[in-house]
């Protein structure tokens, strides 16, 4: 009955308002891979954003207006992503949260620059977009920073002197950045690269082939630069052949799905991470609890970064002056509070994040060092 | 207070608008309270039945899949004579309408054997040996559940969103995956009919949506109001907003698997008909109001024309044209009104003429009246003058009368004095002349030389006796003189002094003695000797003298026993002085007038009619008291004087 009364009111209102369109709502777009093998990253990022939006709306929205989301699946395909981005621009979104992979970010950056709409990359770390004064800003530093520190750690702390790498050409913008940064640093330190093999995500044959090739020569460490599902498969292929082979992955694979699918084959693997899952920090615990309650899954780093990013974008929309662009406001202010430490943007809009080296022990990520 | 007027058209419009609006409002109320709830019921039950169909179809699908896998497990795994082979599994998958893949997992969670469709078989080695011990549903099955359905997950084997059925047999598990991307077709089929049908898994993530792309995204709807309540009933309906659109939906909780079917309708689907109804209603309201307006305007013009004609007719009547023809009209009432106005005009005309006549008569009689009034006024003025003259004469006469009354009182006083003085002085004279005789006789005896001793002794005795008598009588006369002197001083000088009531009354009665004696009246006076008063004893004396004179004159005409009683009592600061007689009394008709001036029953017999009037004036003014009288014929008369102990200080009026 209540529903129908309000419907009647709605009918009355819509009659009264016919003609004057209401563009006053705050709209945020989301762009990310929501289908296929990269779903775990895109899905948790989407969920992180959704949680933040729901929190803001529950507190009355921005300037009394509720925040709405338009969610687009880039299918990890540049063409689909461009189309989706154009749709978001046409819908007049205030900002876009996403994407979650570098290749997509590279392919859509020009669209948001032309439209003058802020795009906040969640887990995008390609070097291709670093140090550019554009509408694209991101929650993480370029791969150069993380690959570099990881190379130092492996070489110095773990006494690794040779490595083989397998990486995914499906997210070339990230994987190639990472691999080249890593190898440059590692070689500079005096290490050797025994193999660098590639595959394309979704093409199982190329994946199996790359594993075989890497195993041809012995090395201290096999490094997987792939998404969690592919990394789990590769780990299985590697460890089946050489059960004692040391393994590590880049941050990209560092999701719960890696352990779920990798099982015993990823035990002992070193995984670089953007978050400390075992942090006892109250903010993190509350966030994690809310996330699990809402989505029945762990937030992972993508969930946390998207959550932090969405909050800082909404806060900036609320606080910025009328003649200031969103990007300028964010870069002016540059420091925003966040779960597991503040987000700090440099003048190009690249934020730095803490990274941790974790080792998978008994099916859990254990932090062994903060880099 | 002036009444605010408004034109006829406004009045008619107001009335018609009310007549039109009431049924419209009743319709609206009826719609709001009866139709709307009913509409909600219909929509909810529609949605519910769709949701139930989807739920039962899905359950059926899932249950028959379950049945198939159980059958397969019974046939291949439970029979010890049969060793399951890869080819069995491949064949099963190939034939199954449900399952995409089926694998056996050993106790440690490794895939031992996997059945694949033909296109997947080249990659068999990639899947064999995968460690699934950490996947959520197998971790769960390791604990307590021997069989069941997994949450939705992205299958590594097929790359599709899937759910898996797992069954534990000894230390092995059979796991079979169903790709759920077929589910959207079910929701598509229904969604064509205005319904948005969605399947949600146990975490409320979307499993099936008419848009396959959305089905893949596993968006979690757990925050929708109709799903948020964990304790919710199996069927809930409500409103929600999703992706910026408002929906009204019904959610049904399924048993196997524990999914939710959500059937929703874009709210515009029924807010649109509602708003159409509303628009129709509003338009009809507008039409009604406009119709009311136009009808009232035309009707009022029509009526105005008629009223105008009637107005004109009445204006002519007002102007004095009583012969104007009645106005012809098809509406009976107006015709009647017009005819009536005509007869009214005639009646007015008639009345006017008779009014003119009577006015004329009135004017004449007025003129007569005026001259009579003038005559009368002159007469009145004359008699007024005469009356004033008479009054002046009367006042003068009254003054003379009062004066002569005083003189009469003084005369009786003098008579009283002379009378009283007569006896002692006569006695003294007689005694002294006797002494003189005795002395002459003695001298002649002495001269004759025959004076004897006894004669001389006799003479001396007589002389002593005579002088004694003389002295005694002269003394008495002297007393009398001083007492009269006091009364005379009081009477004439209006002197204010302190006096004893008893003494004053005694002295006054003394002066009245001749009168009392003349009329043979006995006075009984009982005055307490200790009452002291301050005031005008002369006034009191005049009062008593007048009362005595009045009683002697009027009360005792035909009787022998004539008595007067005077007594006084003191009550606080007041003296009650009663003066009563046993005379014939005063008739009731006269009683009210006895204090009026010139009232007398003995006019022509010497009564001035002023006596009691003077009494009344003296008591109320000089003595500051009151006087009342009560009397009945044959029972005597009682005057009651109430006097203050201290009379007010005033110049005595008389």
pTM listed for this prediction: 0.61
Interface residue A265 vs chain B (CB under 8 A): yes
Give me chain A's average pLDDT, please. Answer: 88
Q: What are the residue boundaries of the structural domains of chain A, listed by start?
A: 24-140+282-352, 144-273
> What residues of A are in contact with residue B125 (Cβ under 8 Å)?
208
Q: In this predicted model, what pLDDT tens digit does every residue of A178-197 receive, in sequence order?
A: 999 999 999 999 999 999 99
Mutation site, A33, A35, A36, interface B, largest B CB count within 10 A: A35
B330 or A63, higher pLDDT: A63
Interchain contact, A14 vs B275, CB within 8 Å: yes
Residue A36: closest C-alpha in chain B: B159
Place B486 in a pLDDT band, splitting at 50, 70 and 90.
Answer: low
CB contact at 8 A, A248 and A223: yes
Which residues 197-226 of chain A have a CB within 8 Å of chain B?
202, 204-205, 207-208
> What CA–CA distance (Å, rounded) separates B456 from B451?
7
Percent of chain B with pLDDT strictly greater than 90: 12
Q: In this predicted model, what pLDDT tens digit does every residue of B610-638 receive, in sequence order?
A: 788 888 888 888 888 999 999 888 888 99
pLDDT at position B506 is 87
- Confidence check: pLDDT of B423 > 70: yes
Interface residue B212 vs chain A (CB under 8 A): no
- Confidence check: pLDDT of B422 > 60: yes
ipTM over 0.90: no
Interchain contact, A263 vs B244, CB within 8 Å: no
Mutation site, B103, B130, B152, B285, interface A, largest A CB count within 10 A: B130
Tell me the average pLDDT across A251-267. 91
Q: How far off is chain A from B244, nearest CA to CA, in Å?
A: 6
What is the number of CB-based contacts under 8 A between chain A and chain B? 128
Interchain contact, B32 vs A8, CB within 8 Å: yes
> What residues of B are in contact with residue A36 (Cβ under 8 Å)?
154, 159, 216
CB contact at 8 A, B585 and B635: yes
> What CA–CA distance (Å, rounded) separates B527 from B253?
125
Pairing of the two strands A136-138 and A118-121? parallel
Place A17 in a pLDDT band, splitting at 50, 70 and 90.
Answer: very low
A14-18, A94-98, A131-135, A198-202: lowest mean pLDDT where? A14-18
- Confidence check: pLDDT of B550 > 50: yes
Best CA proximity match to A166, nearest among A239, A250, A77? A250
Q: Select the highest-mean-pLDDT range: A41-50, B335-344, B582-591.
A: A41-50
Q: Which CATH superfamily is domain A144-273 in?
A: Response regulator (3.40.50.2300)
End-to-end CA distance of chain A: 59
pLDDT at position B82 is 67
> What residues of B are in contact with residue A12 (Cβ under 8 Å)?
275, 278
The string of DSSP codes covering B383-424 is HHHHHHHHHHHHHHHHHHHHHHHHHHHHHHHHHHHHHHHHHH
What is each CA distance from A49 to A57, A151, A189, A251, in whole angstroms? Answer: 12, 32, 40, 20
Q: In this predicted model, what pLDDT tens digit does every residue of A123-143 receive, in sequence order?
A: 888 888 877 778 899 998 888
A203-207, B1-5, B253-257: lowest mean pLDDT where? B1-5
A54, A71, A265 member nearest B223 (Cβ): A54
Residue with tokens 């209540």: A2
Interface residue A46 vs chain B (CB under 8 A): yes
Q: How far off is chain B from A127, nearest CA to CA, in Å?
A: 29
Find the helix or strand (DSSP H, E) in which A365 lies. strand A364-370
> What residues of B are in contact with residue A47 (Cβ under 8 Å)?
220
Residue A26: closest C-alpha in chain B: B244
pLDDT at position B412 is 66
Best CA proximity match to B129, nearest among A171, A169, A263, A325? A263
Strand partners, B640: B578, B628
Please count the other Cβ atoms lying within 10 Å of the Cβ belonging to residue B534: 14
Interchain contact, A259 vs B134, CB within 8 Å: yes
Q: Which CATH superfamily is domain B1-186+273-319 in?
A: PAS domain (3.30.450.20)
Task: Assess whether the region A24-140+282-352 and the region A144-273 belong to the same CATH fold.
Answer: yes
> What CA–CA distance (Å, rounded) separates B480 from A115?
151
CB contact at 8 A, B179 and B193: no
- Confidence check: pLDDT of A315 > 70: yes
> What residues of B are in contact with residue A43 (Cβ under 8 Å)?
217-218
> What CA–CA distance (Å, rounded) separates B478 from B420?
11
CB contact at 8 A, A162 and A223: no
Q: What are the residue boundaries of the structural domains of chain B, listed by start?
A: 1-186+273-319, 496-644
Tell me the average pLDDT across A260-279. 91
Write the CATH number of the domain with boundaries B496-644: 3.30.565.10
Exposed/middle/buried for B293, CB within 10 Å: 0-12, 13-18, 19+? middle
Residue A39: closest C-alpha in chain B: B217
> What CA–CA distance (Å, rounded) separates B493 from B320?
87
> What CA–CA distance (Å, rounded) separates B356 from B338?
27
Best CA proximity match to B224, nearest among A9, A72, A54? A54
Interchain contact, A263 vs B217, CB within 8 Å: no
- CA angle A28/A30/A31 to nearest 5° reads 145
Mutation site, B120, B220, B248, interface A, largest A CB count within 10 A: B220
> What CA–CA distance (Å, rounded) separates A169 from A102?
12
pLDDT at position B170 is 76
Starting at the edge strand found earlier in the chain, the sheet holding B626-631 runs: B522-526, B563-571, B574-581, B637-644, B626-631
Q: How far off is chain A from B293, nearest CA to CA, in Å?
A: 25
Q: Which CATH superfamily is domain A24-140+282-352 in?
A: Response regulator (3.40.50.2300)
A354-363, B272-281, B320-329, B391-400: lowest mean pLDDT where? B320-329
CB contact at 8 A, B168 and B141: yes
Interchain contact, A7 vs B132, CB within 8 Å: no
- Confidence check: pLDDT of B431 > 80: yes
In chain A, % helix, strand, coil (3-state, to 5) comes to 50, 20, 30
User: What DSSP designation does B607 have?
Assistant: -
> What CA–CA distance (Å, rounded) separates B235 from B256?
15
Residues 6+ apart with CB under 8 A from B96: B68, B102
Pairing of the two strands A270-273 and A356-361? antiparallel
- Confidence check: pLDDT of B351 > 50: yes
């Amino acid at each position: 009955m209540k529903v129908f009364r309000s419907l009647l009111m709605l009918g009355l209102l819509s009659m009264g308002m016919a003609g004057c369109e209401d563009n006053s709502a705050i709209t945020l777009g989301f762009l990310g891979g929501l289908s296929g093998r990269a779903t775990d990253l895109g899905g948790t990022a989407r969920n992180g954003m959704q949680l933040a939006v729901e929190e803001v709306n529950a507190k009355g929205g921005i300037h009394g207006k509720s925040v709405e989301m338009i969610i687009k699946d880039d299918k990890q395909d540049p063409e689909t992503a461009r189309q989706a981005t154009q749709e978001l621009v046409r819908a007049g979104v205030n900002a876009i949260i996403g994407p979650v992979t570098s290749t997509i970010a590279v392919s859509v950056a020009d669209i948001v620059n032309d439209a003058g709409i802020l795009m906040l990359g969640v887990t995008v770390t390609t070097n291709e977009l670093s140090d550019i004064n554009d509408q694209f800003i991101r929650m993480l530093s370029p791969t150069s920073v993380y690959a570099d520190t990881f190379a130092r750690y492996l070489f110095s702390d773990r006494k690794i002197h040779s490595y083989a790498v397998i990486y995914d050409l499906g997210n070339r913008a990230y994987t190639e950045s990472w691999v080249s940064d890593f190898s440059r640093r590692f070689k500079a330190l005096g290490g050797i690269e025994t193999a660098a093999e590639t595959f394309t995500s979704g093409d199982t044959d190329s994946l199996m082939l790359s594993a075989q090739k890497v195993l041809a020569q012995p090395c201290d460490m096999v490094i997987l630069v792939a998404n969690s599902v592919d990394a789990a498969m590769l780990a299985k292929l590697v460890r089946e052949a050489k059960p004692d082979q040391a393994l590590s992955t880049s941050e990209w694979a560092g999701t719960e799905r890696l352990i779920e699918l990798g099982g015993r084959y990823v035990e002992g693997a070193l995984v670089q991470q953007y978050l400390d899952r075992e942090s006892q920090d109250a903010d993190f615990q509350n966030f994690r609890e809310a996330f699990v309650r809402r989505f029945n899954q762990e937030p992972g780093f993508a969930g946390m970064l998207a959550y932090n990013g969405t909050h800082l974008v909404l806060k900036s929309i609320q606080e910025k002056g009328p003649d200031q662009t969103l990007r300028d406001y964010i870069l002016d202010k540059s420091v925003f509070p966040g779960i597991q430490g503040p987000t700090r943007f440099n003048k190009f809009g690249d934020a730095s994040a803490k990274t941790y080296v974790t080792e998978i022990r008994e099916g859990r990520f254990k932090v062994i060092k903060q880099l | 207070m002036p009444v605010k007027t408004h034109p006829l058209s406004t009045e008619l419009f107001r009335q018609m608008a009310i007549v039109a609006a009431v049924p419209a409002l009743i319709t609206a109320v009826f719609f709001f309270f009866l139709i709307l709830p009913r509409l909600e019921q219909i929509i909810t039950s529609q949605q519910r039945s769709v949701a139930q169909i989807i739920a039962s179809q899905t359950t059926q699908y899932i249950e028959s899949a379950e049945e198939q896998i159980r059958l397969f497990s019974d046939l291949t795994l439970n029979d010890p004579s049969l060793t399951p082979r890869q080819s069995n599994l491949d064949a099963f998958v190939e034939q199954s309408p449900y399952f995409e893949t089926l694998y056996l997992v050993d106790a440690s969670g490794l895939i031992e054997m996997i059945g694949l469709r033909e296109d997947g078989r080249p990659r068999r080695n990639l899947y064999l040996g995968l460690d699934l011990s950490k996947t959520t549903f197998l971790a769960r099955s390791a604990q307590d559940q021997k069989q069941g359905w997994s949450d939705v997950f992205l299958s590594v084997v097929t790359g599709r969103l899937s759910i898996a059925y797992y069954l534990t047999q000894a230390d092995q598990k059979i796991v079979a995956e169903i790709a759920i991307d077929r589910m959207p077709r079910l929701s598509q089929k229904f969604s064509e009919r205005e319904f948005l049908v969605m399947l949600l898994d146990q975490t409320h993530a979307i499993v099936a949506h008419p848009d396959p792309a959305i089905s893949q995204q596993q968006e979690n709807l757990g925050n929708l109001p109709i799903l948020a309540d964990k304790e919710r009933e199996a069927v809930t309906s409500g409103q929600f907003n999703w992706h910026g659109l408002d929906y009204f939906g019904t959610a049904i909780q399924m048993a196997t698997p524990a999914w939710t079917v959500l059937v929703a309708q874009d709210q515009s689907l029924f807010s649109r008909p509602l708003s159409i109804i509303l628009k129709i209603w509003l338009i009809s309201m507008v039409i009604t109001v406009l119709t009311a307006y136009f009808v009232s305007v035309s009707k009022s013009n029509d009526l105005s024309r008629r009223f105008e004609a009637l107005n004109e007719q009445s204006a002519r009547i007002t102007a004095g044209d009583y012969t104007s023809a009645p106005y012809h009209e098809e509406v009976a009432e107006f015709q009647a009104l017009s005819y009536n106005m005509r007869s009214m005009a005639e009646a007015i005309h008639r009345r006017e003429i008779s009014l003119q006549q009577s006015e004329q008569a009135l004017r004449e009689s007025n003129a007569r009246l005026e001259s009579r009034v003038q005559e009368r006024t002159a007469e009145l003025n004359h008699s007024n003058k005469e009356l004033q003259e008479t009054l002046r004469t009367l006042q003068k006469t009254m003054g003379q009368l009062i004066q002569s009354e005083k003189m009469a009182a003084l005369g009786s006083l003098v008579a009283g004095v002379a009378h009283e003085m007569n006896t002692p002085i006569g006695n003294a004279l007689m005694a002294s002349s006797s002494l003189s005789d005795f002395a002459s006789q003695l001298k002649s005896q002495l001269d004759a030389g025959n004076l004897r001793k006894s004669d001389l002794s006799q003479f001396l005795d007589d002389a002593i006796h005579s002088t004694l008598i003389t002295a005694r009588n002269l003394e008495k006369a002297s007393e009398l003189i001083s007492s009269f002197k006091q009364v005379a001083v009081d009477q004439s000088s209006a002197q204010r002094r302190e006096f004893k009531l008893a003494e004053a009354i005694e002295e006054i009665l003394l002066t009245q003695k001749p009168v009392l004696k003349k009329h043979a009246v006995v006075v009984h006076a009982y005055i307490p000797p200790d009452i002291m008063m301050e005031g005008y004893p002369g006034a009191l004396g005049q009062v008593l003298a007048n009362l005595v004179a009045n009683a002697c004159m009027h009360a005792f005409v035909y009787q022998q026993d004539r008595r007067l009683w005077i007594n006084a009592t003191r009550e606080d600061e007041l003296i009650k002085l009663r003066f009563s007689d046993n005379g014939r009394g005063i008739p009731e008709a006269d009683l009210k007038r006895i204090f009026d001036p010139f009232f007398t029953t003995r006019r022509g017999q010497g009564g001035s009619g002023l006596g009691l009037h003077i009494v009344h004036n003296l008591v109320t003014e000089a003595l500051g008291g009151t006087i009342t009288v009560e009397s009945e014929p044959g029972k005597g008369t009682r005057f009651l004087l109430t006097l203050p102990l201290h009379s007010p200080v005033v110049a005595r009026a008389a």
